[in-house]
Structure 1
Amino acid sequence: MSTLGKISKLTGYLPNGAAGGHTGLPPGAAPLLPNNGRIIQTGGVRVLCVADVRGNLRSLNELAKQARADHIIHTGDFGFYDGTSLDRIAEKTLKHVAQYSPLISEPVKKAIGAPGAPVKQRFNASDLPLSELPQFLDGSLKLDVPVYTVWGACEDVRVLEKFRSGEYKVTNLHIIDEARSMLLEIGGVKLRLLGLGGAVVMHKLFDNGEGRTTIAGGQGTMWTTLLQMGELVDTANRVYDPTETRIFITHASPAREGILNQLSVTLKADFSISAGLHFRYGSSYNEFSVNPTLDHYRGKLAASKASFNDVWETVKGEVQPAISQNEAQQNLLHNALDIVDKMPSTALGGNPFGGPVGGANAAGVGQVDESAFKNMWNFNLADAAFGWLVLEVQDGRIGTEMRAQGFNFAHRGAKQHPGHAQRSPAAQPAQQPFNQGQQQRPTQQPPRGPAVPEVKSESPAPKPATPQPQTNVNLPGTADKKENEKISTPAATNGTSNGEAASPVAKTQPSEPIIGLFVMNVTSDDAVRDLFKDEDKEKILKIEKWGQSNKVAHFKSIEERDAVLASLPEDVKSRTGEDRSRPLVKIFQPRENKSFGGNRGGAGNWGSSRGGNSSGTPQGGYRSGGASDSEGGRGGRGGRGAPRGTRGGERGRGRGRGFKGESSSPAPSNATPATGDS
């Protein structure tokens, strides 16, 4: 369908911007009044902010209990799917939704990722629960606290239209969109919630997709349109009250979408709360804190404006005639275009907030208004499974608490397992100067009875056990004896206890090499065995824990190990998707420490000159062992249109896309699992 056809479908449905009292509301919907949705609550109130529950709606009740929350703000990918949504969702979108769904079992996820017939042909609908929403619609499940949400990028537009018309209703669920805001009078503060859902995709700003009303989407995905932005401005203007604190709730991040950033300024927002980047930590910032200069900030807005203008110049010949007979739509389009017109066209000079322009040629005109640049705070949330933000409102003050599960660094400093992760005897000579330093430490005071035999028994080097103060004092480079003592202290070894560091004798004992497979992101022995075929399970000698969420499966011979590895499916041996939590199997290769610096603990190798690289082998900068469950590939879904590369380079839910993510940025397949002393 052409852009013209899609724009024309909007006629008669836009409640805002209409003239003469005509609202154009769909049947069952009520007009927005300034105090519509007003909630008053006194005393200290906690507002939990979460993102991406992906249909696991019962988790909202659990999170509310954990955070002691009175209200919940949710930023999209809520799980607006009902029993009929599966028939409408596209194959590619279905694979993505299923891969990250907390409701679909792991065996089904693995089978979906395997090549074969379309997913809907291979599985029954009962195997693909997209959301728990039907159970909340029929009343079998309930929300314990009020939930205010926008829709995300992966939702069913038909379900949202039924909520807007009143056909669907869930107690305590309030959908914030361009036509409806909410006012919470809590803790001495009036919180005005303004929201805009869906992905921001420049080439879809004038496309309504399969939407029958003002909501845009299709085939299981949703995005925002320019007319929705214009309607949100109209809503915000009609309910404006200078005594209110405004929170702008979006799915896409205003930090990455210049047009959303400018929209938040237009809405006079005090806070923005967004998701869409899928980090393991939430972030809190204002533009002043992340831009070195105002011109740098202008540059981001100018780039977004140029991108929009490319699309607008292409479609305005169709759009303008399509709405020429509809005054309401003309008003909304004007509101939206006015947002873009106020954005700077160049990074140099100009006022990104639409105020007077200062400069050498404009003396006396006025200064650049930097109030929003410095005072509007943005919160980008981690997924609900990994963290949350709490706004604590009391006595007119809004405080914050942020919690995150975070990255898993257990593989760097995990305790070494006796007999398996000891340092090799070949590495011991590099430690001898420090063991010798341990011998010389008693020279600072009269030797005590047991001191001499203790040092003698612990020293692997054939040095005299008797303290030699004169020799020690005259050693070159040892004038600062306190520094030597610091270095030689057993506790200086990272990732080990004092007892381990003080037992070089035990570390010199040779150990049998491990013949095994390293299994990442598993928590139980049964989970490891489930990855292998039945005939291969019998070949596993034992399963050993290695770090917080990793295991090592031992085998009798290298040939047997390699044969078992070859029989595993490819999706277990390499990362083909973005899910960093899925099990990954590699050949176990403990790292050997070839230098003094490498023996100092489990903080990773940073390529520093301190500690020495005695082997002379060039070392990289920062090197992680790859056993973190985050790896860097989950860092953030980039722009909506690019291939998702974190979860241009991030888990790219590309901003120019109509659905979330096609690709990933997995860890290198040859990454060596990190041991405790890497």
Structure 2
Amino acid sequence: MFPNPSRIILISDTHGYLHYINTAVEKHQATAVIHCGDFGLYDEKSVDRLEDREIMLRLKHCHEIDPQELIKVKKNQLTPKEQRELVRKKYPLSEFSDYLTGKKEFLVPVYFIYGNHEDGEVVKQYRNDEISVKNLHIVDEHHTYKHGRFRIFGLGGNVVESHFFDDENNRFSNGKIFSSFSEYGTLYETMKQYQLEDNTLRICMTHCSPGKVPFLDHLCQKLSANFSVSGHMGFPFTNCWTNFTFSEKNPIKKLSNQQINEIAKYLPANQWKEKQKKEIQQGIDSAFKILEPIKYSSEFVSFYHTNFINLVDACDGYALIVDDGNKISFETYSFGYKPTLPIFKLKVDHRQEKNQENQNRRKNRENQNENLNQSENQNQNENQNQNQRKNQRKNQRKNQRKNQNQNQNQNQNQNQNQNQNQNQNQNQNQNQNQNQNQNQNQNQNQEKEKEK
């Protein structure tokens, strides 16, 4: 029997609501707390360092926010400046400042890693021992702790291959935190010092879930972890599994070449300052050892025996590991989840409804397009018919005008001919009359001459 029984609270994603920690400790008389990131490492100046999206997310997840103000935030009705003022005046980012000033304190040792949503400046200060809080211990590639018979180690931050080789300034900025490849290598070397530790159970802490990130799964096996504890995912209930519950040994035995290449393709040649280069290169060299295939030894045994625990957000619950000195027991606690439909039916129905909605939308769009095409064709036909009718009417009018003009011309010609005939007749009559008159005059003259 181990002489120091332990009761360890497992909690994650407090997002600044740190009172959850002491509440759970008091309820279960815990001897320690393990916190898996998104702790709420913000100080008074953090509101000016975070990017706009981080401020918006903090307001969206704020427990005390007024419902009307929450609606405005969700509908983007507040400018980034107005959102910052709201945080500054009404809704502080975290309770952490009260612990920094000593106004509040943690009741038992709290071992924490940073998450992907923290103020990078505050994280760096804590990593470099520039600030400290009583009973609050950071876990990273350099810091590991023993509590009872548990060896507590791990590394926080988001795991994104494209950020594996960024420098510290890029990985700790604007309220987002990323882990680096060399840090995992340093952690690997740190834990080699404890590989011969007797009567010890290993707890590996990560923020991201090894169930989602194969590299972290492989890390836990290479470091022979008995327990892997993570957060980040935000499910309503704590999830627990071992690899052997859902997979044969071969798929998990080694990372695929594709996954290794995905990491290696971001490896830069000469990116760091000279004074950093040696330390970082050593970390990278060690990290590539993590990618080596699992051997048939304690690493392989961990395939069967590593218990993976993915925690809910602190507002939804937590878990408890109890070591009574003989056996280990594990308990999970949930504050309740109220689904609108049966939980297994929820996703299925939701997807079916969405698929049905999408199909209906597609059909409606197709019908609308068909109707539009039909109406366009009808309009085109009508326009063509109208144009044809117009052209027919135009042609008819043209022909009518032509005929009228022809008739008019014919009538004019006839009239001209008639006038010409009349004139000719008149001229003939005039000539006849003239001739008659001449004859008469001649006769008269002749008669006169005779009389003489």
TM-score normalised by structure 2 residue count = 0.71
Q: 1:102 to 1:209 in 2, by over 3 A?
A: farther
Q: 1:382 to 1:172 in 2, by over 3 A?
A: same
Q: Which has the higher relative contact order, 1 or 2, with Cα contacts under 8 A spaced 6 or more apart? A: 2
User: Which of 204, 207, 213 in structure 2 is aligned with 1:257?
Assistant: 213
Q: How far did 1:369 drift?
A: 7.0
Equivalent in the alignment of 2:393: none
User: Which of 256, 266, 271 in structure 1 is aligned with 2:227?
Assistant: 271
Matched, 1:111 2:72: yes
Q: 1:232 to 1:169 in 2, by over 3 A?
A: same
Q: 1:269-293 CA distances to partner (integer Å, 9 max, x unpaired)?
A: 11110112111111111100021x2
Q: 1:239 to 1:207 in 2, by over 3 A?
A: same
Equivalent in the alignment of 1:10: none
Q: How far did 1:96 drift?
A: 1.7
SS of alignment partner, residue 191 of structure 2? helix
- Could you tell me whether the CA contact under 8 Å between 2:38 and 2:115 is conserved in 1? yes
Q: 1:629-674 CA distances to partner (integer Å, 9 max, x unpaired)?
A: xx7999xxxxxxxxxxxxxx9xxxxxxxxxxxxxxx9xx99xxxxx
Report sequence identity in percent: 25
Matched, 1:338 2:338: no
Q: CA RMSD in A?
A: 3.0
CA distance, structure 2, for counterparts of residue 334 and residue 224 of structure 1: 16
Matched, 1:392 2:392: no
Matched, 1:153 2:94: no
- Could you tell me whether the CA contact under 8 Å between 2:120 and 2:176 is conserved in 1? yes
Matched, 1:192 2:151: yes
User: Which of 202, 206, 213 in structure 1 is aligned with 2:165?
Assistant: 206
Give the number of aligned pairs: 350
SS of alignment partner, residue 333 of structure 1? helix
Matched, 1:85 2:54: no
Q: 1:181 to 1:127 in 2, by over 3 A?
A: same
SS of alignment partner, residue 241 of structure 2? strand
Q: How far did 1:152 drift?
A: 0.4
Equivalent in the alignment of 2:294: 353
- Could you tell me whether the CA contact under 8 Å between 1:97 and 1:154 is conserved in 2? no
Equivalent in the alignment of 1:164: 127
Q: How far did 1:397 drift?
A: 2.1
Q: 1:310 to 1:114 in 2, by over 3 A?
A: same
User: Which of 73, 81, 85 in structure 2 is aligned with 1:120?
Assistant: 81
User: Which of 327, 335, 338 in structure 1 is aligned with 2:278?
Assistant: 327
Larger Rg: 2
Q: 1:173 to 1:106 in 2, by over 3 A?
A: farther
Q: Which ranges of structure 2 fall in alignment gaps of 5 or more residues?
A: 359-452
Which stretch of structure 1 is more off in the superposition, 165-174 or 249-258?
Answer: 165-174
Q: 1:537-590 CA distances to partner (integer Å, 9 max, x unpaired)?
A: xxxxxxxxxxxxxxxxxxxxxxxxxxxxxxxxxxxxxxxxxxxxxxxxxxxxxx
Q: 1:632 to 1:134 in 2, by over 3 A?
A: farther
CA distance, structure 2, for counterparts of residue 338 and residue 221 of structure 1: 28
User: Which of 350, 355, 377 in structure 1 is aligned with 2:307?
Assistant: 377
Matched, 1:288 2:251: no
CA distance, structure 2, for counterparts of residue 139 and residue 369 of structure 1: 43
Q: How far did 1:323 drift?
A: 6.4
Matched, 1:183 2:146: yes
CA distance, structure 1, for counterparts of residue 294 and residue 125 of structure 2: 37
Q: 1:633 to 1:171 in 2, by over 3 A?
A: farther
CA distance, structure 1, for counterparts of residue 243 and residue 92 of structure 2: 40
CA distance, structure 2, for counterparts of residue 279 and residue 287 of structure 1: 20
User: Which of 205, 224, 248 in structure 1 is aligned with 2:204?
Assistant: 248
CA distance, structure 1, for counterparts of residue 125 and residue 303 of structure 2: 39
TM-score normalised by structure 1 residue count = 0.48
SS of alignment partner, residue 317 of structure 1? coil
Equivalent in the alignment of 1:317: 269
Q: How far did 1:380 drift?
A: 0.8
Equivalent in the alignment of 1:239: 194
Q: 1:375 to 1:159 in 2, by over 3 A?
A: same
